[in-house]
A and B are shown apart, each in its own frame.
Chain A
């Protein structure tokens, strides 16, 4: 009986606790029709310069009374998982930015608002082709292009001059020769790295594979199957290893360019080259302002002298989640962002604007020039909703690189295993 009483008291206490959980204020109540509204905008880290977004948000708030723009910058790492959760929730953000390789997955599953009818209003005639393809699913447009960019070799002009390199390399052989010269000239600096190249920089690997004439996957009927076991793809992987070995890079072989952020390593001043996006150079300059006058860029060289290697055309699209509560506001926000005024600012910031064909602002600096030169040769990953799973989970391309670079697997074994895994992901 004593036991009963004890248990009962415990039960009552627990009930109070549980009830306490239940009655705690349950967050936000969405303001639907009238009164102040909040437009939640998620853009990605490094996308649009803050000068642009500050001006944009201010202009939008000034012209829409009672509207507050809740502007949040998201990190690329883990963004797919975050979007999956956000888009299936009751209160998704109102405007989101999606990587072009991720867009097909979200478009094909009906998580995004169909913007086909609004294209004319959003500068539809000037949309960037490569990005437009990525946001089109079954002939409908589920977003609008934001910007495109691609990797170039970002380098230190002062170190190149000091090493006696007069012109930027235009072939793989010249590139390797430049690395040797840089190493000799900086032999006294133990922290020096001629090229910073982490083991899992797989977008860079794509360039090498394409340059050799291979591809990661090929279309087989209505499915994609891996083609990493082709001789061309293997040659691309092999060149990656050649670069890592020749440069003596101290970068970890089992992480990508974001761990640690390669721009931070470049910012230390002991690195002569890195393969990266323009915003990464911006980040390095921010950390070390001395670098601003000493840096430039050249397109990733090809095996054929005088040509540029094909590059992965990276980019972003803007979209409105299907569950957004502020569709009209979101559309007018996107209309403002797609106007020439803001598109020119994107170009000036060193990216190819998504809704304006006028790229004059882009070629105003050396990095932009290199970008424009190589983006003509831009390619994309297989256009299938399944591709997102390759990037979000355990990317077989990354595992392949680490296994081969560390010597854990032979070239044949590493590419073979990765191919099997890739085919399974693209098929499943």
Chain B
């Protein structure tokens, strides 16, 4: 009897052991949400008649530092204080005269932004500085026709070397050159690829930049002899907003894709007549680009919403009277925008384009920095684009606050020279 009892006990224990699930292995704590570092990486150029000013706008007051890096180290740095208005402009020539290089701007906090404004004789270019490196990005809009120069500058301000693969597409198809493979960008340095030398005579160039190790911030540099442009590469996405101010000349949007297969896209237009859905549509060849000409619409400011079936990135290119300007589209609307560098060129006229792609009217407040005297309330009706022209003056930049999400772009015009840059959206702004 005792034997059967023991068998019962053992059987019960065995069943219990089999039924009780094995406890989960201890796990580490959940990963924290990501946060952007309060930093911006800006293209700079000094010499040959050109100079760079870095405009900084911060929401709170604070201090920061701009460090010029080249050749594996810092060639100079300068502290700045955004003061009560929350803005500052740092002339790179006062920090370091290094030619084409990169600058690392330590910003007062994450709700800050910086932009480079490069100016000189027959040259005006501006672009907001990149904050977050991406493992893949697209740079399109450039060309290497006669008299045109196009460079790709890969900036690596970080501690480790980076390795980059470039996939270049032009109207001739995918371009092949050993210079595009495994480009090593040493730490705290920039690597520049001269596309005019490598791919002369191309009208439409689209470059997919894949970072295989380390991190880089890529920018494009373009000049046509009478003006120039600097514009950032952006990571691809499937929905974009592109704001285009009125232009007296050519205006086009170049949409590049990183997808290896063809990608379809549809464009909705925000113009004077409101939203026009299905304004255009087409197919982008794999790792190639498609161009949408806006010249016929350029009498008024317009905005495009681009929706694609694969990852793409759109770039706006304006050309008029020898002047040229390029910038990338924006992914999202936001309630707060910083536009450092806007109005910083002496004697330039500044124009701000605001898109309200929502269904409610937006009341926005445009404020100049550092003076704060130009507080202008602008009503932006739903699904419409509004242009604000500002009188010439010397500014560090502009900020825009809205009660509903909007998108903003600014343009400087100095005679035939023009520069254009999208604003920097500020989360929780």
Q: Do A and B come from one complex?
A: no
Could you tell me which A residues sit within 8 Å of B by CB distance? Answer: none
B residues with CB within 8 A of A: none
